[in-house]
Structure 1
Amino acid sequence: MTIDLRSDTVTKPTEAMLERMRTAELGDDSRDGDPTVMALEALAAERTGKEAGLFVASGTMGNLVALLAHADRGGEVLCDTGIHMLRSEMGGIASIAGLFFRTLPARRGAVDLDALADALHSRLTPSRLATGLVWMETSHNDAGGAVLPLEHMKAVRALADDHGAPVHVDGARLFNAACALGVEAKAIADHADSLMFCISKGLSAPIGSLLVGSRDFITRARAFRRMVGGAMRQAGIIAAAGIVALEEMTGRLAEDHRMAKRLARGLAAIDGSLTDPALAETNIVRIDVAASERDADQWTRALAARGVLAGAWTSRQIRCVTHRHTGPAEIEKAIAAFAETWRDFNTAPSR
């Protein structure tokens, strides 16, 4: 049996999702509307306390459409250096949206508020771009699943409001963040004008993300979704799984968090340099293999040979993500594979 810890995107749809997909009421989403898609969009808006929602093919598409709908070309997006949009979304912010970005110092995804205050600029001048958008991410992928405190998000929103700048939250794992904070998702969404979340990660739907915001914003976003090729037809087939995801899957995410903590503690017991369990806030565990004098690629190959798939995040760091297919038995097997690899790499000469 192979244990796949590369991402929670490897989750398979549940039987309830497959049954709902088989019986979904369908229409043409880009013409008169698909009733199942509209039901999912309404549910997403309700869960986040927003006026309207838009079903998109992926989180990357949702973030891109948000950029297009919020900001005029040539505007500046303020964000931290590690956001997914800059790391993994293929430069759409510049090449498609025509926006610039200014990165700010941050600690575990939370930008320095003084730096944000200095960077905000209400209008275009001969020497400064106007701020088009302020960007936050929670849970924060590059920061190992860290969750932004609500007080921090509130402070960011207040600074942005003072300068008339909208706020977007990349909440790909929004419900993981809400679970970690012990709040409803709308408590996070309250601090954003728009928010994107994925249903195809820990929530186990096969495809899709939701973009939520005001009705006017979603009307604009719907037009930009068409521009980037995201208008769909009988999309209720996939939206049906998203409805089940929101109705049935958000409540079980705490189990994924417990498994991540269990994994982190097991790895720390092998050697304290590998990870700090206190930093495993959600379902992501970052593992530093530098002390082994082997790089992350060597580690992932050795782990794969032992039946455990993990992802190289940097040359010296590995990322593991827990999900509903990784229970206690799988976590124990993963810890054993790490222990065996650690012993091998610390007794054999490096090459």
Structure 2
Amino acid sequence: MIIDLRSDTVTKPTKGMMEAILNAETGDDVYKEDPTVNKLEARLAAMFNMDEGLFFPTGSMANQAAIKMHTQPGEQLICDKWAHVYNYEGGGVSFNSGVSCKLVDGDRGMITAQQVKDAINPPDFYHSPLTSLVCLENTTNKGGGACYDFDEMLQIHHVAKDNGLSLHLDGARLMNAIVAKKEDPKKYGAIFDTISICLSKGLGTPLGTVLIGNKTVMQKAMRVRKVLGGGMRQIGYMAGAGLYALDHHVERLAEDHKKAKQIAAILEAQNYVHKVEPTETNIVIFYLSEGISETKFMEDLSKLDIRISNMGQGKLRVVTHLDYTDAMHDRFLNVLSTYN
């Protein structure tokens, strides 16, 4: 029994999802003639009370498209120093859009409205890049699945609007935040210009992210997706998986959160663990005590068919997910509590 906790992207489609994939009605999505894709895009747009959605193969491509839609070459976006768009998208901000990042030293990947305000370059000072976009991430990946306080995001929205900036949300694990905090998705649609919603992490589909937004900005989305090579044909099979996930895999995210918190509690009690970050959703970040080898620790787990991630800088990461069963959970907790 291999216990793979490196990411929530390692899941396989459930039996029900496979049936939804096989039974999906398809067409050519480049012509916008795939009915299942159209249904998924419309459903997510309506869920967040936004105008339109567009299906992308990956979350990184959806984020990169949004950045390109909101900016011009030579401009600058504001994001946390741990933001996915800066750390984990291959330098796409500069390569695809010719845009630089003003990095903010936030808390667990989350920044404040005051920090955003302080990071905006004076628009009449032509020696510095023109600030045009703010990118937030909820939940934060490198921040250990932390959830923004909605009121703080609302204040960031006000700062952005007061300064003529666009606001994009990398919602790779947004459903985790919505479930954890029992929030109304429509509140997000009211304050963000664009939101990327990933279906292949906690929701368990093989691929797919839907970028949603309001009509004015989304009219650019098809062209940008084409430029980035994201046009696909009978992708309704994957959209069918997405619709199934929205019906069956959203509320169950609470189970992943519960298991992650139990893992965090066990880790906090161990002498070989120096620190465990606050655990709100399905990601546990922890640090080993001084003198304990990260390499040996991970090798010891690997010998027991247990896989976790090393994020560098001492960060070890565990991510719970759809395929992490109760039996796996019991075994993993036992391993952690008896490791020496």
Q: Is the 8 A contact 2:27 2:34 kept in 1?
A: yes
Moved more, 50-59 or 120-129: 120-129
Q: Is the 8 A contact 2:172 2:196 kept in 1?
A: yes
SS where residue 106 of structure 1 aligns? coil
Structure 1 residue 174: Cα displacement:
0.6
SS where residue 270 of structure 1 aligns? coil
- Cα displacement string for residues 255-298 of structure 1 (whole angstroms, at most 9, x for unaligned residues): 10000011111111223844447x11000001211434312x33
Measure, in 2, the Cα distance between the counterparts of 1:124 and 1:260. Answer: 48
Structure 1 residue 121: Cα displacement:
3.9
Structure 2 residue aligned with 1:36: 36
Task: Give the alignment of 1:80-159 within 5 angstroms.
Answer: 80-121=80-121, 123=123, 125-159=125-159
Structure 1 residue aligned with 2:3: 3
* Counterpart code for 2:311: W
Measure, in 2, the Cα distance between the counterparts of 1:112 and 1:173. Answer: 20
Q: Is the 8 A contact 1:308 1:337 kept in 2?
A: no
Structure 1 residue 137: Cα displacement:
0.5
Number of residues of Structure 1 aligned to a counterpart in Structure 2: 340
**Coordinate RMSD, CA, aligned:** 1.6
* Counterpart code for 1:269: A
Measure, in 2, the Cα distance between the counterparts of 1:334 and 1:144. Answer: 19
Structure 1 residue 196: Cα displacement:
0.5
Measure, in 2, the Cα distance between the counterparts of 1:301 and 1:97. Answer: 40
Structure 1 residue 338: Cα displacement:
2.6
Q: Is the 8 A contact 2:272 2:292 kept in 1?
A: no
Structure 2 residue aligned with 1:180: 180
Structure 1 residue 109: Cα displacement:
2.1
Structure 1 residue 197: Cα displacement:
1.3
SS where residue 204 of structure 2 aligns? coil
Measure, in 2, the Cα distance between the counterparts of 1:12 and 1:108. Answer: 29
Does residue 261 of structure 2 align to residue 265 of structure 1?
no
Task: Give the alignment of 1:300-339 within 5 angstroms.
Answer: 300-339=298-337
Q: Is the 8 A contact 1:178 1:188 kept in 2?
A: no
Measure, in 2, the Cα distance between the counterparts of 1:117 and 1:263. Answer: 37
Q: Is the 8 A contact 1:303 1:338 kept in 2?
A: no
Does residue 283 of structure 2 align to residue 284 of structure 1?
yes
Structure 2 residue aligned with 1:346: none
Question: Structure 2: 5+ residue runs without aligned partners?
Answer: none
Query: What percent of counterpart residues are identical?
Result: 34
Measure, in 2, the Cα distance between the counterparts of 1:63 and 1:92. Answer: 9
With normalisation by structure 1, the TM-score equals: 0.93
Q: 1:136 to 1:315 in 2, by over 3 A?
A: closer
Structure showing the higher helix proportion among its residues: 1
With normalisation by structure 2, the TM-score equals: 0.95
Structure 1 residue 32: Cα displacement:
4.3
- Cα displacement string for residues 221-259 of structure 1 (whole angstroms, at most 9, x for unaligned residues): 111000010000011011110011112211111010000
Structure 1 residue 122: Cα displacement:
6.4
- Cα displacement string for residues 15-50 of structure 1 (whole angstroms, at most 9, x for unaligned residues): 221111111111111024211110110111112221
